[in-house]
Amino acid sequence: MRVLIISVFLGTIFFTGQFLLSVNLPLGLIMSSKIQSHEEKKVFSSWNPLIPQVGGVSTSNFSLSARSALSYELTDEKMVFAKNINEKLPMASLTKIMTAYLALEEGIDKRYRVSSSAALIGENVMGLSEGEILTLEELLYGLMLPSGNDAAEVIAEGSPYGRDGFVEEMNKRAKQLGLGNTHFTNPSGLEGDGDQVTTVVDLLKLTKTALENKNFLKVVSTYEKELPNNNEHKYYRLFNDTNLLTSYPGVKGVKTGFTWEAGLCLVTYLEHNGHKIIAVILNSQNRRQEMKDLLDYTLIELGETPPKHE
């Protein structure tokens, strides 16, 4: 009986192979196709910070003008400071963290052509001109350093989803990452397209996830970037002049934001003596100084001496 079963099994394999060869579909190609199909299904796992559920985080000896703020130590999973952390607020150009994160799925070398509408978007810009062609890497420096709204529009327009589809994908990705209080209406953070809101907790989750991409970290930790002119675009010299990269040792970026509705906003990533800290401020009166104060406070609460800074 066992011999009969083995014979039938081997016969099945033989005739299957003959059939596949007869239709020019090798078995290896079928297996490869299945593997590729499986790999194309992206899996997104949401990370949830440890947030005290009773009494919150003690902040009686420290205060900020910011409407909402937090600092979180990633290494030991500890919320150090928290203020109105679940309040939905406008995020301004902190939107661009998601824009960059989503665009990086297309590959750093992807090329984009600048449209007239993107070139004329206005307010904070990289300075793009209609018809120029840039790689995603080049656009990301313009997106994250001077907070270029033109770069954001070019990235969205050139995505496989189209401009409106890119915004839809931003919201879909927010849900997949567990950002339950976040909603996007455009790729730049400009006002006027409807409610574009988030919370400092959602920004913490998004920033931690984005920082896991080495290309994202490379861009946001850059203070100055030159893009040499070539036959496809002009020369660019870009600066990141707000996120404490040159004034607070250990800061590695991430992003600033401002509109009159959102106020002064800032997300900062700090590495210090083995500690990895993300701090978020929304609607501040003085984001630069308050972020320095928040980082100092956080390090002291962790038993560290803050570095000397400007």
**Residues identified as active-site:** 93, 96, 147
CA distances from 35 to 30, 31, 188, 212 (A): 9, 6, 36, 25
118: its two tokens: 């993107």
CB 202 within 8 A of CB 180: yes
Q: What are residue 264's phi and psi, to 5 degrees?
A: -85, 125
> With DSSP H G I counted as helix, E B as strand and the rest as coil, what are the percentages for the chain, rounded to 5?
40, 20, 40
CB 125 within 8 A of CB 143: no
Can you give the length of the chain in residues?
310
Q: What is the Cα–Cα distance from 85 to 97, expressed in whole angstroms?
A: 19
For residues 271, 200, 174, 76, the Cα torsion angle rounded to the nearest 10 degrees is: 40
Residues 6+ apart with CB under 8 A from 241: none
N-term to C-term CA, the chain: 84
Instruction: Name residue 304's amino acid.
Output: E
Q: What is the Cα–Cα distance from 25 to 287, expressed in whole angstroms?
A: 61
125: its two tokens: 């810009």
